[in-house]
Protein backbone atom coordinates (compact mmCIF):
# COMPACT_ATOMS: atom_id res chain seq x y z
CA UNK A 1 0.00 0.00 0.00
CA UNK A 2 1.18 3.50 -0.80
CA UNK A 3 1.97 5.42 2.35
CA UNK A 4 3.22 8.81 1.28
CA UNK A 5 4.18 12.20 2.55
CA UNK A 6 4.65 15.59 0.92
CA UNK A 7 7.75 17.60 1.73
CA UNK A 8 8.93 21.08 0.77
CA UNK A 9 12.55 21.54 -0.33
CA UNK A 10 13.36 24.09 2.41
CA UNK A 11 12.32 21.51 5.02
CA UNK A 12 14.43 18.78 3.38
CA UNK A 13 17.49 21.02 3.63
CA UNK A 14 16.53 22.53 6.99
CA UNK A 15 15.99 19.18 8.71
CA UNK A 16 18.92 17.59 6.88
CA UNK A 17 18.67 15.45 3.74
CA UNK A 18 19.89 12.11 5.19
CA UNK A 19 18.19 12.79 8.51
CA UNK A 20 14.89 13.34 6.68
CA UNK A 21 15.17 10.10 4.69
CA UNK A 22 16.21 8.22 7.85
CA UNK A 23 13.23 9.60 9.74
CA UNK A 24 10.55 9.03 7.11
CA UNK A 25 11.84 5.55 6.32
CA UNK A 26 11.85 4.66 10.02
CA UNK A 27 8.24 5.84 10.24
CA UNK A 28 7.24 3.47 7.41
CA UNK A 29 6.73 6.05 4.65
CA UNK A 30 7.39 4.50 1.20
CA UNK A 31 6.75 7.47 -1.11
CA UNK A 32 8.05 11.01 -0.61
CA UNK A 33 6.90 13.86 -2.89
CA UNK A 34 9.13 16.93 -2.96
CA UNK A 35 8.13 20.17 -4.68
CA UNK A 36 10.52 20.83 -7.57
CA UNK A 37 9.14 24.35 -8.02
CA UNK A 38 6.71 26.23 -5.84
CA UNK A 39 4.09 28.90 -5.50
CA UNK A 40 3.97 32.02 -3.36
CA UNK A 41 2.46 30.92 -0.08
CA UNK A 42 2.73 31.52 3.65
CA UNK A 43 3.81 28.19 5.10
CA UNK A 44 1.39 26.38 7.38
CA UNK A 45 -1.50 28.68 6.47
CA UNK A 46 -4.37 28.28 7.17
CA UNK A 47 -3.13 27.04 10.50
CA UNK A 48 -0.55 28.12 13.05
CA UNK A 49 1.89 29.40 10.33
CA UNK A 50 4.67 27.67 12.24
CA UNK A 51 6.94 24.97 10.83
CA UNK A 52 7.32 22.13 13.32
CA UNK A 53 10.20 20.17 11.81
CA UNK A 54 12.79 22.92 11.37
CA UNK A 55 14.40 24.91 14.13
CA UNK A 56 16.33 26.86 11.48
CA UNK A 57 13.16 28.39 10.00
CA UNK A 58 10.11 28.29 12.21
CA UNK A 59 8.38 30.69 9.82
CA UNK A 60 8.71 30.69 6.03
CA UNK A 61 7.24 32.40 2.99
CA UNK A 62 7.77 30.43 -0.21
CA UNK A 63 8.43 32.97 -2.93
CA UNK A 64 6.88 33.19 -6.38
CA UNK A 65 8.70 31.55 -9.22
CA UNK A 66 11.04 29.37 -7.14
CA UNK A 67 12.81 26.64 -9.13
CA UNK A 68 14.68 23.99 -7.15
CA UNK A 69 16.56 22.29 -9.96
CA UNK A 70 19.20 23.80 -12.24
CA UNK A 71 17.54 24.05 -15.66
CA UNK A 72 19.60 23.41 -18.79
CA UNK A 73 18.68 26.11 -21.37
CA UNK A 74 18.77 23.57 -24.22
CA UNK A 75 15.42 22.15 -23.03
CA UNK A 76 13.78 25.55 -23.47
CA UNK A 77 15.43 26.82 -26.66
CA UNK A 78 12.07 27.44 -28.38
CA UNK A 79 10.98 29.86 -25.65
CA UNK A 80 11.77 33.58 -25.46
CA UNK A 81 14.38 34.13 -22.74
CA UNK A 82 11.88 35.90 -20.45
CA UNK A 83 9.67 32.78 -20.12
CA UNK A 84 12.49 30.31 -19.41
CA UNK A 85 12.93 28.74 -15.95
CA UNK A 86 16.02 29.69 -13.94
CA UNK A 87 17.41 28.13 -10.75
CA UNK A 88 16.59 30.15 -7.65
CA UNK A 89 18.77 28.22 -5.19
CA UNK A 90 22.53 27.72 -5.13
CA UNK A 91 22.17 24.01 -4.40
CA UNK A 92 20.51 21.73 -6.93
CA UNK A 93 17.99 20.39 -4.40
CA UNK A 94 16.21 18.09 -6.88
CA UNK A 95 19.53 16.41 -7.70
CA UNK A 96 20.34 16.01 -3.99
CA UNK A 97 16.83 14.65 -3.28
CA UNK A 98 17.09 12.13 -6.14
CA UNK A 99 20.64 10.94 -5.47
CA UNK A 100 20.07 10.46 -1.75
CA UNK A 101 17.00 8.30 -2.46
CA UNK A 102 19.30 5.66 -3.98
CA UNK A 103 20.31 4.67 -0.42
CA UNK A 104 16.75 4.22 0.83
CA UNK A 105 13.59 2.24 0.08
CA UNK A 106 11.54 5.43 -0.13
CA UNK A 107 10.35 6.37 -3.66
CA UNK A 108 11.35 9.94 -4.59
CA UNK A 109 8.49 11.71 -6.41
CA UNK A 110 8.84 15.04 -8.25
CA UNK A 111 5.86 17.12 -7.14
CA UNK A 112 5.32 19.65 -9.91
CA UNK A 113 2.86 22.56 -9.60
CA UNK A 114 1.99 23.16 -13.27
CA UNK A 115 -0.41 25.98 -14.15
CA UNK A 116 -0.38 27.96 -10.91
CA UNK A 117 2.69 30.06 -11.61
CA UNK A 118 2.32 33.46 -9.96
CA UNK A 119 5.48 35.01 -11.33
CA UNK A 120 4.87 34.23 -15.01
CA UNK A 121 1.11 34.94 -14.89
CA UNK A 122 1.69 38.27 -13.13
CA UNK A 123 4.76 39.31 -15.09
CA UNK A 124 3.48 38.23 -18.51
CA UNK A 125 -0.33 38.55 -18.58
CA UNK A 126 -0.33 37.28 -22.18
CA UNK A 127 0.26 33.79 -20.71
CA UNK A 128 -2.45 33.99 -18.04
CA UNK A 129 -6.08 32.85 -17.98
CA UNK A 130 -8.68 35.53 -18.84
CA UNK A 131 -12.31 36.19 -17.89
CA UNK A 132 -15.14 37.19 -20.28
CA UNK A 133 -14.09 40.84 -20.13
CA UNK A 134 -10.49 40.02 -21.07
CA UNK A 135 -9.27 40.73 -17.52
CA UNK A 136 -7.01 38.37 -15.61
CA UNK A 137 -9.05 35.62 -13.98
CA UNK A 138 -8.44 34.32 -10.47
CA UNK A 139 -8.10 35.90 -7.06
CA UNK A 140 -4.58 37.07 -7.95
CA UNK A 141 -2.61 36.76 -11.19
CA UNK A 142 -1.66 33.15 -10.64
CA UNK A 143 -2.68 30.76 -13.39
CA UNK A 144 -1.24 30.14 -16.84
CA UNK A 145 -3.55 29.18 -19.71
CA UNK A 146 -3.25 25.53 -20.81
CA UNK A 147 -4.16 26.51 -24.40
CA UNK A 148 -1.24 28.89 -24.77
CA UNK A 149 1.46 27.25 -26.99
CA UNK A 150 4.26 28.89 -24.95
CA UNK A 151 2.84 27.46 -21.72
CA UNK A 152 2.59 23.98 -23.24
CA UNK A 153 6.15 24.20 -24.55
CA UNK A 154 7.41 25.27 -21.11
CA UNK A 155 5.54 22.50 -19.28
CA UNK A 156 6.65 19.78 -21.71
CA UNK A 157 10.23 21.04 -21.57
CA UNK A 158 10.23 20.76 -17.77
CA UNK A 159 8.79 17.24 -17.90
CA UNK A 160 11.40 16.23 -20.51
CA UNK A 161 14.24 17.60 -18.39
CA UNK A 162 12.98 15.97 -15.18
CA UNK A 163 12.61 12.61 -16.97
CA UNK A 164 16.05 12.68 -18.57
CA UNK A 165 18.62 14.81 -16.71
CA UNK A 166 16.99 14.19 -13.33
CA UNK A 167 16.01 10.53 -13.85
CA UNK A 168 12.45 10.92 -12.61
CA UNK A 169 10.76 7.87 -11.11
CA UNK A 170 7.36 9.53 -10.82
CA UNK A 171 6.11 13.01 -11.66
CA UNK A 172 3.12 14.30 -9.71
CA UNK A 173 1.18 17.10 -11.40
CA UNK A 174 -0.33 19.67 -9.05
CA UNK A 175 -2.45 22.68 -10.07
CA UNK A 176 -3.20 21.04 -13.39
CA UNK A 177 -6.42 23.04 -13.63
CA UNK A 178 -8.06 26.43 -13.85
CA UNK A 179 -8.26 28.64 -10.75
CA UNK A 180 -11.28 28.40 -8.47
CA UNK A 181 -13.96 31.05 -9.14
CA UNK A 182 -13.08 34.25 -7.31
CA UNK A 183 -16.48 34.74 -5.73
CA UNK A 184 -17.34 32.69 -2.68
CA UNK A 185 -20.74 34.07 -1.78
CA UNK A 186 -22.20 34.85 -5.20
CA UNK A 187 -24.63 32.92 -7.36
CA UNK A 188 -23.71 30.33 -10.03
CA UNK A 189 -24.30 33.11 -12.55
CA UNK A 190 -21.56 35.31 -11.07
CA UNK A 191 -19.30 32.28 -10.79
CA UNK A 192 -19.77 31.04 -14.34
CA UNK A 193 -19.36 34.50 -15.79
CA UNK A 194 -15.95 34.79 -14.12
CA UNK A 195 -14.63 31.31 -14.87
CA UNK A 196 -11.72 31.24 -17.34
CA UNK A 197 -10.56 30.98 -19.95
CA UNK A 198 -11.58 33.38 -22.68
CA UNK A 199 -8.16 34.27 -24.12
CA UNK A 200 -7.44 34.27 -27.85
CA UNK A 201 -5.91 30.78 -27.76
CA UNK A 202 -8.97 29.39 -25.99
CA UNK A 203 -11.32 31.14 -28.45
CA UNK A 204 -9.47 29.40 -31.27
CA UNK A 205 -9.57 26.02 -29.53
CA UNK A 206 -13.28 26.40 -28.74
CA UNK A 207 -13.99 27.29 -32.39
CA UNK A 208 -12.28 24.02 -33.41
CA UNK A 209 -14.61 22.23 -30.99
CA UNK A 210 -17.66 23.93 -32.53
CA UNK A 211 -18.25 26.37 -29.68
CA UNK A 212 -18.80 30.07 -30.36
CA UNK A 213 -17.21 31.62 -27.29
CA UNK A 214 -18.06 35.13 -28.52
CA UNK A 215 -21.76 34.31 -28.44
CA UNK A 216 -21.48 32.63 -25.03
CA UNK A 217 -19.58 35.60 -23.57
CA UNK A 218 -22.21 38.03 -24.84
CA UNK A 219 -24.96 35.92 -23.32
CA UNK A 220 -23.18 35.87 -19.95
CA UNK A 221 -22.46 39.60 -20.13
CA UNK A 222 -26.15 40.34 -20.81
CA UNK A 223 -27.15 38.31 -17.75
CA UNK A 224 -24.60 40.07 -15.57
CA UNK A 225 -25.92 43.47 -16.78
CA UNK A 226 -29.46 42.43 -15.87
CA UNK A 227 -28.29 41.47 -12.40
CA UNK A 228 -26.25 44.65 -11.94
CA UNK A 229 -29.12 46.82 -13.12
CA UNK A 230 -31.50 45.23 -10.64
CA UNK A 231 -28.99 45.48 -7.81
CA UNK A 232 -28.13 49.08 -8.77
CA UNK A 233 -31.76 50.11 -8.52
CA UNK A 234 -32.56 48.25 -5.32
CA UNK A 235 -29.22 48.27 -3.54
CA UNK A 236 -29.96 44.69 -2.57
CA UNK A 237 -27.56 41.89 -3.49
CA UNK A 238 -28.28 38.22 -3.13
CA UNK A 239 -25.61 36.17 -1.40
CA UNK A 240 -25.34 33.14 0.83
CA UNK A 241 -26.07 35.21 3.93
CA UNK A 242 -29.64 35.39 2.66
CA UNK A 243 -30.27 31.81 1.65
CA UNK A 244 -33.76 32.30 0.18
CA UNK A 245 -32.63 35.16 -2.01
CA UNK A 246 -29.49 33.24 -3.01
CA UNK A 247 -31.56 30.19 -3.96
CA UNK A 248 -33.73 32.38 -6.19
CA UNK A 249 -30.69 33.65 -8.09
CA UNK A 250 -29.25 30.12 -8.22
CA UNK A 251 -32.51 28.74 -9.63
CA UNK A 252 -32.74 31.62 -12.11
CA UNK A 253 -29.14 30.95 -13.14
CA UNK A 254 -29.72 27.26 -13.83
CA UNK A 255 -32.77 28.22 -15.92
CA UNK A 256 -31.01 30.96 -17.88
CA UNK A 257 -27.78 29.02 -18.33
CA UNK A 258 -28.65 25.34 -18.35
CA UNK A 259 -31.97 25.46 -20.17
CA UNK A 260 -31.84 28.63 -22.23
CA UNK A 261 -28.14 28.42 -23.07
CA UNK A 262 -27.03 24.77 -22.99
CA UNK A 263 -23.85 25.71 -24.87
CA UNK A 264 -22.57 26.58 -21.39
CA UNK A 265 -22.35 22.85 -20.70
CA UNK A 266 -20.47 22.23 -23.96
CA UNK A 267 -18.03 24.94 -22.93
CA UNK A 268 -17.55 23.41 -19.46
CA UNK A 269 -16.88 20.02 -21.07
CA UNK A 270 -14.44 21.59 -23.57
CA UNK A 271 -12.46 23.24 -20.74
CA UNK A 272 -11.96 19.81 -19.17
CA UNK A 273 -10.90 18.44 -22.57
CA UNK A 274 -8.23 21.14 -22.88
CA UNK A 275 -6.76 20.19 -19.48
CA UNK A 276 -6.98 16.49 -20.34
CA UNK A 277 -5.22 17.07 -23.70
CA UNK A 278 -2.28 18.71 -21.92
CA UNK A 279 -2.08 15.83 -19.43
CA UNK A 280 -2.19 13.32 -22.32
CA UNK A 281 0.77 15.09 -23.98
CA UNK A 282 2.69 14.97 -20.70
CA UNK A 283 1.78 11.30 -20.32
CA UNK A 284 3.08 10.46 -23.83
CA UNK A 285 6.40 11.85 -22.72
CA UNK A 286 6.61 10.24 -19.26
CA UNK A 287 5.53 6.85 -20.65
CA UNK A 288 8.19 7.02 -23.36
CA UNK A 289 10.78 7.25 -20.55
CA UNK A 290 9.08 4.66 -18.31
CA UNK A 291 8.28 7.34 -15.72
CA UNK A 292 5.08 7.10 -13.64
CA UNK A 293 2.60 9.97 -13.81
CA UNK A 294 0.18 11.01 -11.08
CA UNK A 295 -1.95 14.08 -10.45
CA UNK A 296 -3.43 15.93 -7.50
CA UNK A 297 -7.10 16.45 -8.33
CA UNK A 298 -9.86 18.34 -6.58
CA UNK A 299 -12.73 16.14 -5.28
CA UNK A 300 -15.04 15.19 -8.17
CA UNK A 301 -18.07 16.95 -6.67
CA UNK A 302 -16.55 20.26 -7.75
CA UNK A 303 -13.66 19.27 -10.01
CA UNK A 304 -15.80 20.24 -13.04
CA UNK A 305 -15.59 23.86 -11.86
CA UNK A 306 -11.80 23.85 -12.29
CA UNK A 307 -11.76 21.77 -15.50
CA UNK A 308 -10.80 18.35 -14.13
CA UNK A 309 -12.76 15.40 -15.52
CA UNK A 310 -11.80 12.09 -13.92
CA UNK A 311 -12.95 10.01 -16.91
CA UNK A 312 -10.92 12.08 -19.36
CA UNK A 313 -7.81 12.28 -17.17
CA UNK A 314 -7.55 8.74 -15.82
CA UNK A 315 -6.29 7.00 -18.99
CA UNK A 316 -3.20 9.25 -18.86
CA UNK A 317 -2.48 8.71 -15.16
CA UNK A 318 -1.03 5.89 -13.06
CA UNK A 319 -2.57 7.29 -9.90
CA UNK A 320 -4.75 10.11 -8.65
CA UNK A 321 -4.40 11.88 -5.34
CA UNK A 322 -7.46 13.62 -3.92
CA UNK A 323 -7.08 16.08 -1.11
CA UNK A 324 -9.79 15.39 1.46
CA UNK A 325 -8.53 18.02 3.87
CA UNK A 326 -10.88 18.82 6.73
CA UNK A 327 -9.89 20.69 9.92
CA UNK A 328 -7.56 23.40 8.57
CA UNK A 329 -10.20 24.48 6.01
CA UNK A 330 -13.16 23.86 8.35
CA UNK A 331 -14.55 21.33 5.86
CA UNK A 332 -16.91 18.58 6.85
CA UNK A 333 -15.49 15.04 6.94
CA UNK A 334 -18.97 13.74 6.08
CA UNK A 335 -18.43 14.26 2.36
CA UNK A 336 -15.22 12.19 2.21
CA UNK A 337 -16.99 8.86 1.44
CA UNK A 338 -19.20 10.38 -1.28
CA UNK A 339 -16.35 12.18 -3.03
CA UNK A 340 -14.05 9.15 -2.94
CA UNK A 341 -16.77 6.71 -4.07
CA UNK A 342 -17.48 8.99 -7.03
CA UNK A 343 -13.78 9.37 -7.82
CA UNK A 344 -13.34 5.59 -7.80
CA UNK A 345 -16.27 5.07 -10.15
CA UNK A 346 -15.23 7.81 -12.60
CA UNK A 347 -11.54 6.95 -12.47
CA UNK A 348 -12.03 3.36 -13.61
CA UNK A 349 -9.13 1.28 -12.36
CA UNK A 350 -6.74 4.15 -11.73
CA UNK A 351 -5.08 3.91 -8.34
CA UNK A 352 -6.71 6.28 -5.87
CA UNK A 353 -4.87 7.91 -2.98
CA UNK A 354 -6.43 10.05 -0.24
CA UNK A 355 -4.53 13.16 0.84
CA UNK A 356 -5.00 13.64 4.59
CA UNK A 357 -4.47 16.94 6.45
CA UNK A 358 -1.91 16.41 9.24
CA UNK A 359 -1.35 20.00 10.31
CA UNK A 360 -3.14 21.89 13.12
CA UNK A 361 -5.93 22.15 13.96
CA UNK A 362 -5.88 18.52 12.70
CA UNK A 363 -5.08 16.26 15.64
CA UNK A 364 -4.69 12.50 16.18
CA UNK A 365 -8.47 12.03 16.52
CA UNK A 366 -9.38 13.87 13.30
CA UNK A 367 -6.56 12.12 11.42
CA UNK A 368 -7.83 8.67 12.47
CA UNK A 369 -11.40 9.69 11.58
CA UNK A 370 -10.44 10.94 8.10
CA UNK A 371 -8.39 7.79 7.38
CA UNK A 372 -11.28 5.54 8.46
CA UNK A 373 -13.76 7.42 6.24
CA UNK A 374 -11.43 7.17 3.23
CA UNK A 375 -10.09 3.64 3.72
CA UNK A 376 -12.85 1.63 1.96
CA UNK A 377 -12.36 3.57 -1.27
CA UNK A 378 -8.62 4.06 -1.73
CA UNK A 379 -5.39 2.21 -2.54
CA UNK A 380 -3.20 4.38 -0.36
CA UNK A 381 -2.68 7.53 1.64
CA UNK A 382 -0.59 10.69 1.49
CA UNK A 383 -0.07 13.09 4.39
CA UNK A 384 0.29 16.87 4.22
CA UNK A 385 2.97 17.48 5.17
CA UNK A 386 6.40 16.77 6.67
CA UNK A 387 7.19 20.32 7.82
CA UNK A 388 3.75 21.35 9.03
CA UNK A 389 2.73 18.33 11.12
CA UNK A 390 3.45 17.92 14.83
CA UNK A 391 5.43 14.70 15.37
CA UNK A 392 2.53 13.00 17.13
CA UNK A 393 0.29 13.66 14.10
CA UNK A 394 2.85 12.10 11.76
CA UNK A 395 3.14 9.03 13.97
CA UNK A 396 -0.64 8.70 14.29
CA UNK A 397 -1.06 9.00 10.52
CA UNK A 398 1.38 6.20 9.77
CA UNK A 399 0.34 3.84 12.57
CA UNK A 400 -3.36 4.24 11.83
CA UNK A 401 -2.97 3.57 8.09
CA UNK A 402 -0.86 0.46 8.76
CA UNK A 403 -3.17 -0.86 11.50
CA UNK A 404 -6.10 -2.73 9.98
ZN1 LIG B 1 -6.94 30.67 -22.45
The domain locations on the chain are 2-180+269-402
CA–CA gap between residue 394 and residue 5 (Å, rounded): 9
CA of 361 to the centre of ligand 1 (A): 37
CA of 20 to the centre of ligand 1 (A): 40
**Chain segment 11-23, per-residue pLDDT in tens:** 999 999 999 999 9
Specify whether the CB–CB gap between 340 and 297 falls below 8 A.
no
DSSP state of 63: P
CA–CA gap between residue 404 and residue 402 (Å, rounded): 6
Query: 177 CB contacts (<8 Å, ≥6 apart)?
Result: 115, 275, 297, 298, 303, 306, 307, 308
CA angle in degrees (0–180, nearest 5) for 48-53-58: 55
Q: 143 φ, ψ to 5°? A: -110, 135
Alpha-carbon distance values, 100 to 19, 24, 29, 105, 158 (Å): 11, 13, 15, 11, 21
**β-bridge pairing 107-113 and 66-67:** unpaired
CA of 127 to the centre of ligand 1 (A): 8
CA of 131 to the centre of ligand 1 (A): 9
CA of 116 to the centre of ligand 1 (A): 14
Query: 220 CB contacts (<8 Å, ≥6 apart)?
Result: 132, 192, 193
Q: 391-402 vs 17-27: helix axis angle to the nearest 10?
A: 40
Specify whether the CB–CB gap between 396 and 364 falls below 8 A.
yes
CA–CA gap between residue 176 and residue 196 (Å, rounded): 14
CA–CA gap between residue 48 and residue 59 (Å, rounded): 10
CA of 290 to the centre of ligand 1 (A): 31
CA of 103 to the centre of ligand 1 (A): 44
Going by C-alpha positions, the residue among 302, 188, 195 that lies closest to residue 239 is: 188
CA–CA gap between residue 146 and residue 152 (Å, rounded): 7
CA of 316 to the centre of ligand 1 (A): 22
CA of 375 to the centre of ligand 1 (A): 38
CA of 319 to the centre of ligand 1 (A): 27
CA of 180 to the centre of ligand 1 (A): 15
Fold exhibited by the domain 2-180+269-402: TIM Barrel (3.20.20)
- If 0-12 CB within 10 Å is exposed, 13-18 middle and 19+ buried, where does residue 245 land? middle
CA of 200 to the centre of ligand 1 (A): 7
pLDDT in the model for residue 249 = 81
Specify whether the CB–CB gap between 154 and 146 falls below 8 A.
no
Query: 7 - beta bridge partners?
Result: 34
CA of 198 to the centre of ligand 1 (A): 5
Specify whether the CB–CB gap between 129 and 45 falls below 8 A.
no
Specify whether the CB–CB gap between 86 and 67 falls below 8 A.
yes
CA of 247 to the centre of ligand 1 (A): 31
**Chain segment 71-107, per-residue pLDDT in tens:** 999 999 999 999 999 999 999 999 999 999 999 999 9
CA–CA gap between residue 364 and residue 393 (Å, rounded): 6
CA of 142 to the centre of ligand 1 (A): 13
pLDDT in the model for residue 184 = 64
CA of 133 to the centre of ligand 1 (A): 13
pLDDT in the model for residue 245 = 83
CA of 205 to the centre of ligand 1 (A): 9
CB atoms within 10 A of CB 218: 12
Q: In degrees to the nearest 10, what's the CA dihedral of 173, 366, 184, 39?
A: -30
CA of 144 to the centre of ligand 1 (A): 8
CA of 306 to the centre of ligand 1 (A): 13
Alpha-carbon distance values, 70 to 36, 67, 85, 292 (Å): 10, 8, 9, 22
CA of 196 to the centre of ligand 1 (A): 7
pLDDT in the model for residue 165 = 98
The ranges of the chain with pLDDT < 70 are: 184-186, 404
CA of 202 to the centre of ligand 1 (A): 4
Going by C-alpha positions, the residue among 64, 255, 87, 253 that lies closest to residue 144 is: 64
Amino acid sequence: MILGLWIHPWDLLGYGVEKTYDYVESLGINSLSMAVRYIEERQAYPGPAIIYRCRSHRTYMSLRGSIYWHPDPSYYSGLPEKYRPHATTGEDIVKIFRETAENYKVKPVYWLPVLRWDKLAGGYPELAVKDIYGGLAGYKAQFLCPSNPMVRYLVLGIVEELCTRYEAVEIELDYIRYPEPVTISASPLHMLAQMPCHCENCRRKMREKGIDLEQLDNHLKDLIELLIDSEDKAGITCNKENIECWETVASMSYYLLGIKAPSVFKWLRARSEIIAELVAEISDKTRSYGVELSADLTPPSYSWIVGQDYELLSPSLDSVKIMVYTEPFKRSPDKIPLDLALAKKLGGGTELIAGISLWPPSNPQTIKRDIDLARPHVNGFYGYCFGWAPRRNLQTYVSHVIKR
